[in-house]
Amino acid sequence: MPANNPQILGKGHSFEDLLLDRASLISDLRMHLGRLGQSYLFVGPSGSGKFFAAKAMAKGILCPMGGCGVCGVCVSVEDASHPDCTVVTRVSSTLSVEEARAVVSAASIAPAVSAHRVIILPEAHLFERAAPVLLKTLEEATTSTIFLLSAESIPSNIVPLASRCVRIDVPLPKKQEVFSYLLGLGIEPSAAEVATSISPNRLDRAYAFAASTDAQRAISLWSSVIDRLSDNPAELAVLCGDLESTLPSNPTSRARTHKRNSAKLQLDKDGVSQVLSKDQEAQLIRAERRLRSDVIRAGLESILKSVVQKGGSGEVTSETVGGVEELILTASAQLKRNGNETVLIRALVFGLSSLFF
């Protein structure tokens, strides 16, 4: 699916793990598991973990122990290999009518090994033309089929679909919950701490940053900017080049191939190179842009922190600290406007140099 990475959490994650131990959300889902309905809609901002919430509920429905995380049922749900749990994927920016019809077919199949068949439909806000097809399926499905949808919002085209579901709101996680989540994935504490400071309430962005060695290297370099400043333009140009070269590429390894006058983006996965659709390419490019912006934003914060510390120890004057703050604010404003990153970095570095030399 060209959306959030649904495989970030691995084997051995229980019902509570998938919900990041958020007590109110755990209590809410347990209540519904005790009196199971036909369809549910998990609503929350991007990065809130609503897909994980749907996965947790699937485990709670199918696992004899309510989602222990370690039994064969839970592992197969996590691996997307359980015969009675289907995660619907799409190949374009919206779910097509043909893909919706495949859901209809899956919903009509009796459970193979469990009392229920669970169908997870992520990103329902992107269903558009497929919504009417799914609406009929939700209305006519057998009681053994449970639908778990997730969405960032409820646009007008899916309102009828949403009205057939029990709504469960999934709030953005707290900073400590994101940090614990990263540690649970095996991320080094230092990397998890930096990633959490950059994205304290977004699971997807925090993970993308923590898992990127390019991003980690970039932050280390940004932290040394003040010490590398010089009055030599050639040395400043080298510093700018170093900062630009360490900005992370897309979180997924990719390469471009050229055929005639067109260039197609490829996704290298498990040694297999797949040409992506325009919609998939656009999503990867947006993910790259977000991650690069996050790194620059973190770098700006590290520079300001370094200068404030130097000001506190008397190494630099208060006027210099104020000048650095103005440069950082200007760079942050340019970043919000999606300004040219190369121009931003060079203006910042040469501006900092003028304050110190």
Are 53 and 42 within 8 A, CB to CB? yes
Residue 327 lies in a domain: yes
**Cβ within 8 Å of residue 116, ≥6 positions away:** 36, 61, 62, 84, 144, 145, 146
With CA atoms as reference, report the closest residue to 61 among 138, 124, 121, 120.
Answer: 120
Phi-psi region of 47 (alpha: psi -120 to 50; beta: other; left: phi over 0): left
Please give the pLDDT value at position 207.
85
Tell me, yes or no, whether 99 and 232 share the same domain. Answer: no
pLDDT at 253: 41
Six token digits for residue 5: 């990475």
Q: Return all residues near 286 (Cβ < 8 A) that are at least 6 apart.
A: none
Does residue 166 lie in a domain region?
yes
Residue 224 covered by a domain: yes
Answer yes or no: is 296 within a domain.
yes
pLDDT at res. 281: 67
Cα separation values, 251 from 220, 256, 263, 290, 354, Å: 18, 15, 20, 10, 35
Least Cα distance to 141 among 126, 155, 122, 161 occurs for 161
- List per-block mean pLDDT (blocks of 10 residues) for the chain, which spans 357 residues: 42 81 92 93 92 94 94 91 92 85 90 95 90 89 91 92 95 92 87 83 83 77 90 94 76 40 42 55 70 81 87 91 93 82 92 93
Residues 158 and 39 in one domain: yes
What's residue 77's pLDDT?
Answer: 93
Predicted pLDDT of residue 119? 96
Tokens of 315: 């190494």
Instruction: For residue 262, give the H/E element and its range.
Output: strand 262-269
pLDDT of residue 280: 61
Identify the pLDDT of residue 261.
Answer: 35
Q: Does 243 share its domain with 147? A: no
What pTM was estimated for this model as a whole?
A: 0.70
- What is residue 12's predicted lDDT score, i.e. its pLDDT? 62
> What pLDDT score was predicted for residue 118?
96
State how many domains the chain has. 2
User: According to the model, what pLDDT value does residue 255 have?
Assistant: 42
Residue 126 contacts residue 94 (beta carbons within 8 Å): yes
Q: What is the largest CA-CA distance in the chain?
A: 75
Range of the domain at 230: 212-249+289-356
Task: Give the pLDDT score at 134.
Answer: 93
Say how far apart CA 287 and CA 208 lie, in whole Å. 9
Sign of the torsion formed by the C-alpha atoms of 26, 31, 34 and 35: negative
**Rounded to whole angstroms, how far apart are CA atoms 146 and 117?**
6
